[in-house]
Amino acid sequence: MASASDDAADTRRTVTDVPTVASPRQYDDPQRWWILAACCTVAFALQAEPFLWMIGYEIPSSAFGTGWTEYRVLASLGVLLFVAFQLVGGVLGDLLGRRKILLIGAIGATLFNVISLLAPTLLTLIVIRAMVGVMGALAFPLSLALIRLTFEGTERTRALVIYTFVTGVGVLASLLGILFEDWWGWRAALVLPIVVGVAGAYLAWRYVPESRAQGGFGRIEAINAAAWALVFLAAMFGLVMANLTDTWRNPITVAAGGFVALGVLLLSIWIQFAGKHRPFRGTKEVPRHFLSLLLLVSAALNFGLVGYAQMLYGFFFTARQLPGFIAGVALAPVFLGNLFVLRWAARFTTSQPAYVAVGGGLATMGVAMLLTALARPNTPYLVLVPLMMLFGLGFLIASASWAYFFFAALPADLIGLSSGLNRAAGLVGSGLAGVLLASVLALSGTADFKLRMAELRLNAEQQAIALQVVDIALRQGITADDLTRTPVVIAGLGLMAAYREAFSVGVASALILAGTASLAVAAVAWFWLRGVQRAADDTGETRSQHAE
């Protein structure tokens, strides 16, 4: 008969051990780090993909980004598609082979990037770029899953910190597409992801061993977790979009409803199948409320990161009138600042409880966003640098610690699915940041601009004309440095100065919303994770007393 201490050890084993043919104990140190290099290279290539608007999709210049509406709808529909394939890639990796699916996704994304170079029309390019996203969605969760599989203990935390840093730099590198497109045309923007993608695929083929789920949680539990994540994430995304557009008939909410219906269908099938085969499995389920909280925090992390980067980019590009590429480079302290604290962040993440690292990191992100919201067009750039570095540090600590906890909290045998769930939630958070914060910026900025025009005693019709003049000025590239001094241009420059001020107010409103949301989720994560730790400590003490 097993003792109470044996039972406790078995319980701990289900959280920390991963049954696989690729246990890190079978490899020497250099082999493990080559696996990390392969995963980071694949992830970097996927993150460095240029956006469609950088390589052919012309978006008209307009006040407060209203011309981006069509593109945001297209991008949001893509988010829902990629969420599904993140889950599919994770499940297929666990059941068919993680190395196999990683290679299929990495090679497929690189191959479709090459095919993109030959696209004769914009429609063809959009379809091919969608396939790049699908292939990347298959591979990306497994690049993270293999790190969880290969490393243990403090080494795993260090590896996750490095992975988080590299993927962040990849996001920054994607902005090189703006510069390459401007210098050599949009096809040049694909050179970086193609070259790095080839390197990542080679490293994965050369060093990553094959592994798959060996037992424990299986197909039934995978369908359950994936279907519930699909329902939860799609419903959250669809509800927000319905609220923003004031209609349930917008294409994003309709598509989200289809994904919800698909998730409910999968859950129904699972309930029927599990009822017949549950005696054979004899495994535990992940409670849906617990999984929902996991997904919420993952979404919040990416909501903060993408929202902060997009709002600051708009601030530098529009309010500060920096060229597109320079505006991207101005964001560098968010990621590159972590170079100076990488080792400290790894030690801090390893030594502190999850609720301190995750909750504290999210709170740091929120504070940095709220402080950045105070910036105006004349704020010196050097004042913003420490705020960006503070945000980057908070994200690095929270993201790395959260990834560790996320994997430990879900079934170890379905590490690919766990990574897919984490990535899918992150995609939804990123998508919500793009549409929600952009809407806040447009509403708040437009309201401030009209208020400024009202102070000049312009009526509503004249205010509308003033916005049209701003649109024309943006399309013609009129700036405060324009040397032409015709009366029309002088009037345009006056409106542009008011517009830049109003735009910074819109950015501030969006950052306040994002910062407040980050602080709220930080509080939830702090108290929830602290409760989880206390429950685990109490359980361990009780079992120890029984063993004695």
How many Cβ atoms sit within 10 Å of the Cβ of residue 496?
A: 22
Contact between 226 and 270 (Cβ < 8 Å): no
Residue 9 lies in a domain: no
Evaluate whether 521 touches 395 at the Cβ level (below 8 Å).
Answer: no
Mean of per-residue pLDDT scores for the chain? 82
| Least confident segment among 176-180, 215-219, 256-260, 316-320 | 215-219
- Greater confidence, 512 or 455? 512
Q: Cβ distance 145 to 215 under 8 Å?
A: no
Residues 328, 228 share a domain: no
* Torsional sign, CA 353, 359, 365, 367: negative
Same domain, 451 and 480: yes
Backbone angles phi, psi at 456, to 5 degrees: -90, 10
Residue 239 CA, chain-centre distance (Å), reads 19
State residue 477's pLDDT score: 64
**What is the reported pLDDT for 540?**
58
237/315 same-domain check:
no
> Where in the sequence is the domain holding 61, given as residue range(s)?
23-212
Residues 338 and 244 in one domain: no
Domain count within the chain: 3
- Average pLDDT of span 438-446: 92
Are residues 270 and 390 located together in one domain of the fold?
A: no
Highest mean pLDDT range out of 116-120, 223-227, 488-492, 520-524?
Answer: 520-524
Shared domain for 434 and 481, answered yes or no, is: yes
**CATH number of the domain that residue 103 is part of:** 1.20.1250.20
- The whole-number average pLDDT for the span 400-420 is 85
∠323-110-199 over CA atoms, to 5°? 90
- Mean pLDDT (whole number) for 157-186: 88
Sorting pLDDT into bands at 50, 70 and 90, what band is 170?
Answer: very high
Rounded CA gap, 103 and 204, in Å? 7
Asked which of 32-36, 245-249, 311-315, 340-344 is least confident by mean pLDDT, the reply is 245-249
Q: How far apart are the first and last CA of the chain?
A: 16
Alpha-carbon distance of 472 to 479, in angstroms, equals: 12
Residue 6, in any domain of the structure: no
CA dist., res. 389 & res. 468, Å (int): 38
Residues 152 and 174 in one domain: yes
DSSP codes, 88-157: HHHHHHHHH-HHHHHHHHHHHHHHHHHHHTT--SHHHHHHHHHHHHHHHHHHHHHHHHHHHHH--HHHHH
Structural contact between residues 362 and 304, judged by C-beta atoms closer than 8 angstroms: yes
What is the amino acid identity at position 475? R
Task: Give the max Cα distance, the chain.
Answer: 93
Specify the DSSP element, H or E, that contains 36: helix 29-47
Instruction: Rank 133-137, 369-373, 483-487 by mean pLDDT and report only the highest.
Output: 369-373
pLDDT recorded at residue 193? 95
The domain boundary, picked from 212, 243, 261, lies at 212
- Band (275; pLDDT cuts 50, 70, 90): low
The CA distance from 107 to 103, in Å, is 6
Mean pLDDT along residues 359-364: 96
CA–CA distance, 403 with 157 (Å, rounded to integer): 9
Asked if 43 and 78 sit in the same domain, the reply is yes
Q: For the segment 188-235, what is each residue's pLDDT rounded down to a tens digit?
A: 999 999 999 999 999 999 999 998 877 655 556 666 777 778 788 888
Reading the block at residue 91, the tokens are 């499940």
What's the pLDDT at 475? 72
460 and 406 within one domain? yes
pLDDT above 90 covers what percent of the chain?
40
| Number of neighbours of residue 385 by Cβ within 10 angstroms | 15
Q: What pLDDT, on the 0 to 100 scale, is given for residue 141?
A: 93
User: Where are the strands (E) in 358-482, listed by range?
Assistant: none
- Would 541 be classed as within a structural domain? yes
C-beta of residue 116 within 8 angstroms of C-beta of residue 190 = yes
pLDDT value at residue 115: 96
Boundary-marking domain end, from 282, 303, 333 = 282
User: Do the domain assignments include residue 1?
Assistant: no
Reported confidence tier of residue 1, pLDDT bands at 50, 70, 90: very low
Per DSSP, 208 falls in state: P
Q: Which of 189, 212, 235 delimits the end of a domain?
A: 212
Q: Does 10 reside within a domain?
A: no
DSSP letter, residue 410: S
121 in the same domain as 248: no
What pLDDT, on a 0 to 100 scale, did the predictor assign at position 10?
38
Confidence of residue 183 (pLDDT cuts 50, 70, 90): confident
User: Is residue 73 very low, low, confident or very high in pLDDT (cuts 50, 70, 90)?
Assistant: confident
